[in-house]
Structure 1
Amino acid sequence: MARLMVLGFLNKRPMSGYEIQQHLQQGRTEEWTNVLPGSLYHALKQLEKEGLVKVREVIRTGHRSKAVYEITEKGREVYTAMLREALQTPDLPYPRNFYSALAFLADLPKEEIRQALSEHIEEIKKKMENLKIGRKAKTEAGVNAEYIHAIFANAEKHIRLHLEFLHELQQLLEKAKLEDIEIPKMEEP
């Protein structure tokens, strides 16, 4: 994901790693891309080694210097292929760890499950707030492309749906007896 984001920004115009990071932070992009500053700089260095980006110039201010990168022709080709693949490959956001834990729900006391679900709900609410802040920042920065707002709307729907599911689990927990799931013995070949 970091590689696609870096190449995407540099496809627009030359930028420093810091500027790319600022754009990502402004839109709270790390919430949905999981691209953190460390992975951003690592991706820049890897892309440079592979000849997909290159340093256009180094700007020195006092004792500091920053590299401004630009995408290469080979980088554009790779970027276009990555973009095409990302658009045509389904990437459904299943909460895999959470679903795995639910399979063994009966192994914890009910009170512990209640507490964990409450904490989970609070974290999801924080994610929703961060998403709203990111959407507002994009709007204030003059980003008005309809598809960008559609991305935020879709992300909000995912979060709301997950919150509904968590509340449903809380209700089920209150009225249901947790049954240990029998795991059948599998035949070996």
Structure 2
Amino acid sequence: MTRLLVLAMLGFKPMTGYDIKVMLELSDAERWGGVLIGSIYNALKKLEKDGYIEVASIESTGHRQKAIYQITEKGRAHEQELVIEALEKSSVVYPTTLYSGVSFAFKLPTARAVEALEKQKKILEQEEKAINAGYEAKLIAMQGEMPALTQLAFDNMLEIVQVQSKFVHQAIEIMKKNNSLE
């Protein structure tokens, strides 16, 4: 996914590695793209080695030099292959750790299991806030014009978090109501 994001950024315009890093941080790519932002530098080296990008120019600022990269025609073709791969690959991910915990919660005192799920609930609330903040930042960056597919992605992320929050809430209610986990 890192390679795709780097190629996509360079498809907009030539950039330095730092520029790409900042753009991905601003768009919260670690959250929605599953990419570690620091990994872009390794991706840049590999993409350049493979001929997908090239150094367009070198800028000097003080004692530092910055390479400005641009995508090549080979890189544009590879970018399309990566987009197709991303669209075809299944991305259904279940909260397996949570399911395992709920399945074996009966081994804990009810109060302790509820306390643990309350922590999970707070984490999900923070995640929802982070998604909303990312949405607002993206909306500002896009000058109020959110592309339909980007809107769809944000809506889907929120819905996933809300469904999981509902699951946690229902599990807590069941545990409290029965006052037993058996």
Q: Contact between 1:14 and 1:71, CA under 8 Å: does it hold in 2?
A: yes
Aligned residue-pair number: 179
Deviations 1:98-143 (A, max 9, x none): 2233333333333332222111111111111111111111111125
Q: CA deviation at 1:156?
A: 1.0
**Alignment correspondent of 2:173:** 171
Distance 1:49 1:111, change over 3 A: farther
Q: CA deviation at 1:70?
A: 1.3
Q: Which runs of 5+ in 1 are unaligned?
A: 180-189
**Alignment correspondent of 2:146:** 144
- Greater shift in the superposed pair: 64-73 or 92-101: 92-101
Matched, 1:7 2:7: yes
Q: CA deviation at 1:87?
A: 1.3
Inter-partner Cα distance in structure 2 for 1:7 and 1:125: 33
**Alignment correspondent of 1:184:** none
1:97-176 residue pairs with structure 2 within 5 A? 97-141=97-141, 142=143, 143-176=145-178
Deviations 1:82-110 (A, max 9, x none): 10121123311322332233333333333
| Cα-Cα RMSD | 1.8
Q: CA deviation at 1:50?
A: 2.1
Q: Contact between 2:4 and 2:79, CA under 8 Å: does it hold in 1?
A: yes
Letter in 2 for 1:72: T
Q: Contact between 2:30 and 2:37, CA under 8 Å: does it hold in 1?
A: no
Q: CA deviation at 1:39?
A: 1.6
Instruction: With the length of structure 1 as denominator, give the TM-score of the two structures.
Output: 0.85
1:42-121 residue pairs with structure 2 within 5 A? 42-121=42-121
Q: Contact between 2:25 and 2:37, CA under 8 Å: does it hold in 1?
A: no
Letter in 2 for 1:178: L
Letter in 1 for 2:42: H
Inter-partner Cα distance in structure 2 for 1:107 and 1:165: 20
Inter-partner Cα distance in structure 1 for 2:175 and 2:58: 59
Q: Which runs of 5+ in 2 are unaligned?
A: none
Inter-partner Cα distance in structure 2 for 1:35 and 1:145: 22
Q: Contact between 1:29 and 1:134, CA under 8 Å: does it hold in 2?
A: no
Q: CA deviation at 1:21?
A: 1.7
Inter-partner Cα distance in structure 2 for 1:109 and 1:47: 53
Deviations 1:145-176 (A, max 9, x none): 12211211111111111111110111122234
Distance 1:68 1:97, change over 3 A: farther
Inter-partner Cα distance in structure 2 for 1:159 and 1:127: 7
Runs of 4+ in 1 over 4 A off after TM superposition: none
Of Structure 1 and Structure 2, the greater helix share is in: 2
Q: Contact between 1:28 and 1:130, CA under 8 Å: does it hold in 2?
A: no
